[in-house]
Amino acid sequence: MAGPTKTETAPQLYDWLLFAVIVVVGGSAFAMIRGAVDTVPPAVVAVGRLWVGSVFLYVVMRRAGRRLPPFFVAGGQFRVHEEWRWMIAIGAISYMIPFLIFPWAQQFIESGLAGIYMAFMPIWTVALAFLFAGERLNARKIFGFALGFVGVIVLIGPGVIGEAMTTSIVAQFALLFATLGYAAGAVVTRRAPHIKPRIFAAGTLIASSVITTPALLFAEWNISDWSVASVANIVGLGLGPTGFGGLLLIVLIQRTGAGFMALANYLTPLWAVAVGAAIFGERIGLNAFVALVIILGGVAISQSGRKSGAGPVIAQDMGEDAIAAEKRDGP
């Protein structure tokens, strides 16, 4: 991994403001998803969000003077370009799967609870980095991973065995699987060849939009039932957490390094709970807050002992790669 760079400076007021915006935008996604699925089918929410974000990031990329690589290798008899193979794979793992799961699951559980499950993503990343990225798995990380699973059990509740087939329990396990997709996407991103960040972001989102669109064939099309609020939430998801939020991550990582962004893993679930309570009057049970503390404790333990300034694996891996790419070629 890359060592400290001159971009890893102490956060200034501007950096804290950027960080606050990222937490607010990311943590608000779960409330927007709940508002969107109120009248719009989950598949439409996922596909619509992806296409809105794709258009946004494509415009940003083109205004920066960047172009997507050709889809086929010249003279390669319809062989897909290597960069597109990576972007398609990451789009399927870290966009298509989670984006389809979250809207479906949030038909049955509170948005705040969905946000809490995101706290488990860094725990997954520890295990996947060990299995597929050659990162060492010591006793501290094993204990942190186990503690995270204890938190999930507390979160789901003691009745999980007797109610294993109820819709809400299945939805919660589905969210756990979705966070695995996010974590796997981070590890695959680390192993991908160098692609300029704005091209990588736009291409990955476009690829995920294309491969997710067939899910519309399984949606119920009662457009007359769609509310303006639900459609507005879909647009907001695409422009906000999917597009704008991703760009802000790159900007902040360039300015302060990856470690500072690690704090988002701790604050985003809390903001998701607060937004759900404020907008929908959700009242998350005490077990959810206990579970959040346990899961975040597992994250902290699994990441302790890293070099000063280093954050969770997902931030460390993606952040340092982005910093190195930006320094070499610009965004």
3 state SS of 72: strand
Predicted local confidence at residue 294, as pLDDT = 86
Query: Mean pLDDT: which of 79-88, 105-114, 314-323 is highest?
Result: 79-88
User: b or e along 60-80 (b: 16 or more beta carbons within 10 Å of the residue's beta carbon)?
Assistant: bbeeeebebeeeeeeeeeeee
- Torsion region of 157: left, alpha or beta (phi above 0 gives left; psi -120 to 50 gives alpha): left
In the predicted model, is pLDDT for residue 218 greater than 80? Answer: yes
Confidence check: pLDDT of 69 > 50:
yes
Cβ neighbours for 262, distance < 8 A, ≥ 6 positions apart: 303, 310, 311, 312, 315, 316
More confident residue, 194 or 75: 194
Tokens for 15, please give them: 């950096």
Q: Which of 208, 312, 245 is nearest to 29 (CA)?
A: 245
The answer, yes or no, to whether residue 238 has pLDDT greater than 80, is yes
pLDDT band at 263, cuts 50/70/90?
low
Mean pLDDT, residues 224-229 taken together = 95
For the segment 232-239, the average pLDDT, to the nearest whole number, is 96
Asked whether residue 267 carries a pLDDT value surpassing 50, the answer given is yes
Could you tell me the pTM of the whole model?
Answer: 0.80
pLDDT of the residue at 304: 67
Phi/psi-derived region of residue 37, left when phi > 0, alpha when psi is between -120 and 50, beta in every other case: alpha
Report whether pLDDT(310) > 60.
Answer: no
pLDDT at 47 exceeding the cut of 60: yes
Give tens-digit pLDDT for 107-163: 998 888 888 888 778 778 778 877 876 777 788 878 887 888 788 777 766 554 454
Rg of the Cα atoms in the chain: 19
**124-152 burial: b if 16+ Cβ within 10 Å, else e:** bbbbbbbeeeebeeeeebeebbebbeebb
Residue 91 pLDDT > 60, yes or no?
yes
Nearest Cα to 311, choosing from 247, 269, 267, 246? 267
Please give the pLDDT value at position 331. 54
Contacts with 142 (C-beta within 8 Å, 6 or more apart), sequence order? none
pLDDT at res. 19? 84
Give the residue-averaged pLDDT of 293-321.
57
Check residue 296 and give its pLDDT: 81
The size of the chain, in residues, is 331
Assess whether pLDDT exceeds 90 at residue 221: no
pLDDT at 6 over 80: no
Q: Chain-wide mean pLDDT for the chain?
A: 80
Q: Would you give the DSSP letter of residue 76?
A: S
Delimit the domains of the chain by residue range: 13-329
* 323: its two tokens: 């910093």
Mean pLDDT of 190-203: 85
Task: Label residue 257 by pLDDT band (50, 70, 90).
Answer: low
> What's the average model confidence in pLDDT over 273-300?
83
